[in-house]
Structure 1
């Protein structure tokens, strides 16, 4: 039996916690029905200060304090957060980090779900390892934790004893992976069918929306962003945008990437692809017309970049996301 610790962090997302519990409890039930021992001993954990000011039980589980002697857990689960102010939320949860580090050093596996990766990243345990998070939070994650090998398009990552999942329903893919690891393929398939989980979805890129970062307070970079966003459909060469900027090309690209998380050419590509996605979702324009409106002159180049950024072909995207 594996000891699983589900951490009820400050600002945890109830849906994330409930989904994790449902899957683990279902796996236990299915194994018990076979006359075997339940695979997971589930426990809830919080900071002492949380327990002083809140509930001491959750869904029939007694919440335990991380300050108590609990021994080494087999798996620790970090749910998603409800807040958009991730730095503030990490500040509220800093007291978890020494406990997470000690548990990991002692042999525990640690898994984060969606934005829970930010607490995982803050612990330093992901440094040098692959990780993912919600596709729309990847740029912020990359800026905050440059030593982590971020895989923004991946639904799930597994690297040594660390596991992460992408946004929202990607949670199910990671928890199913853990069920498969500890309960076997047959139970994992049964759980996947009960929750209608597509076990073959490996990418989350087509769920993403490119949101330019303007919070860097670099006026020079902001001016370049503005030029790209206004003239993306006309730009033939980035020198049209960067040529009159009083800085060397190399330093400018470095400064732009430091501020926004991506280089100027990728920024231009993302603006163009977001434009194409909107037309595919909301208009009856042909792909050729959309290519022209997005600023591309070479259809082959457009399709290649679209596939790379979005994870599917333009017509597949239209079929999946067109507003009916």
Structure 2
């Protein structure tokens, strides 16, 4: 029997992650029994206290067992912790030695969405790949520069450490773990029972690029604002450095340090974000949108768009544009 410990952290955490994981993993035994196979999972909610209030006391979770009573587990699941991540880690620091000990004894550890921040606080992610919510990528890199964050990934796996991307993509990681422990057939059955899109690997189509402005370099911030206001035009590094009265090499270094992107990457991402908005809301054809955001070479744009979003421009438009999906008859 595989023992699964779903953590119930203190503070504001994801009820959906906790309940959803518990529900699905508990159902696996029923699916196995229906197929004439032995139950496989023992799933428990594990906490630091006997009761944990959530959502301003609207909900209360009562863990089945406290960590001091779990001498050995096979899989630890860390749900998403919300709010200030440093405070969340401090509030739940008593979990950390227990998680480390269980990992050293052979347990696997999985984080869901923002749970990656707390997993990183244990030190187990150092030097390893990791996924989290795309919206928190910059903050994660700032707090844990020694972790290899994979912005676009839905799932990462390395040395018994598993992480998932943003929000409800935790379901994809749960399915992945079901397949790993109970087999592909049970994972497919679970995906069908819960209407989950199995084998989804990228969160790129959902990422919204928001230029990092949480820095104190005012000339760089003004350069960002200029790019965002003038993305249709041809903008050069020399033009921006001249406007900022900063030498080119120094400007490029400061821009990358402040935003996490090179100047060219930033310009490209702003153009692509503008194109995405057009694809979502307008009836323009693909080439019209490409020209409107300032690209002349359509092949270059299509290549860059696919690299950033994981979809071709046409696939993206067809996925998100309601007017295209449901055209109005004249």
- If the length of structure 2 is used for normalisation, what is the TM-score? 0.89
Are 1:111 and 2:78 counterparts? no
Task: Report if aligned partners of 1:176, 1:191 keep a CA contact under 8 Å in 2.
Answer: yes
Task: Report if aligned partners of 1:142, 1:261 keep a CA contact under 8 Å in 2.
Answer: no
Q: CA deviation at 1:35?
A: 4.2
Alignment of 1:183-198 (within 5 A): 183-198=182-197
Give unpaired runs (5+ residues) of structure 1: none
Cα–Cα, structure 1 residues 35 and 100, in superposed 2: closer, same or farther, change >3 Å?
Answer: same
Are 1:90 and 2:89 counterparts? yes
What is the aligned partner in structure 2 of residue 124 from structure 1? 123
Alignment of 1:269-288 (within 5 A): 269-288=268-287
What is the aligned partner in structure 1 of residue 28 from structure 2? 27
Q: CA deviation at 1:86?
A: 3.3
Are 1:18 and 2:19 counterparts? yes
Rounded Cα–Cα distance in structure 2 between residues aligned with 1:323 and 1:34: 41
Rounded Cα–Cα distance in structure 1 between residues aligned with 2:52 and 2:28: 32
Rounded Cα–Cα distance in structure 2 between residues aligned with 1:250 and 1:84: 37
Rounded Cα–Cα distance in structure 2 between residues aligned with 1:244 and 1:54: 53
What is the aligned partner in structure 1 of residue 178 from structure 2? 179
Rounded Cα–Cα distance in structure 1 between residues aligned with 2:92 and 2:253: 32
Rounded Cα–Cα distance in structure 2 between residues aligned with 1:169 and 1:13: 11
Rounded Cα–Cα distance in structure 1 between residues aligned with 2:98 and 2:251: 41
1:84-130: CA deviation from partner (whole Å, max 9, x where unpaired): 54343334333322222222222211101111111112222111111
What is the aligned partner in structure 1 of residue 313 from structure 2? 314
Q: CA deviation at 1:243?
A: 3.2
- If the length of structure 1 is used for normalisation, what is the TM-score? 0.90
- Secondary structure at the aligned position of 2:26 is classed as helix
Cα–Cα, structure 1 residues 251 and 146, in superposed 2: closer, same or farther, change >3 Å?
Answer: farther
Rounded Cα–Cα distance in structure 2 between residues aligned with 1:87 and 1:298: 45
Structure 1 stretches of 4+ with a deviation exceeding 6 A read 58-61
Q: Note the aligned Cα RMSD (angstroms).
A: 2.2
1:37-81: CA deviation from partner (whole Å, max 9, x where unpaired): 321111112224xx36659xx999743222x14212110001123
What is the aligned partner in structure 2 of residue 295 from structure 1? 294
Cα–Cα, structure 1 residues 25 and 322, in superposed 2: closer, same or farther, change >3 Å?
Answer: same
Rounded Cα–Cα distance in structure 2 between residues aligned with 1:91 and 1:268: 38
What is the aligned partner in structure 2 of residue 72 from structure 1? 72
Q: CA deviation at 1:264?
A: 2.1
Task: Report if aligned partners of 1:272, 1:295 keep a CA contact under 8 Å in 2.
Answer: yes
Task: Report if aligned partners of 1:235, 1:295 keep a CA contact under 8 Å in 2.
Answer: yes
Give unpaired runs (5+ residues) of structure 2: 324-330
Higher relative CO (Cα under 8 Å, sequence separation at least 6) belongs to: 1
Q: CA deviation at 1:7?
A: 0.6
Rounded Cα–Cα distance in structure 2 between residues aligned with 1:313 and 1:146: 31
What is the aligned partner in structure 2 of residue 254 from structure 1? 253
What is the aligned partner in structure 1 of residue 40 from structure 2? 39
- Secondary structure at the aligned position of 1:88 is classed as helix
Q: CA deviation at 1:294?
A: 1.2
Matched pairs, number:
318
Cα–Cα, structure 1 residues 292 and 312, in superposed 2: closer, same or farther, change >3 Å?
Answer: same
- Secondary structure at the aligned position of 1:210 is classed as coil
Q: CA deviation at 1:197?
A: 1.9
Rounded Cα–Cα distance in structure 2 between residues aligned with 1:63 and 1:218: 50
The answer to which of 241-250 and 177-186 deviates more is: 241-250
What is the aligned partner in structure 1 of residue 153 from structure 2? 154
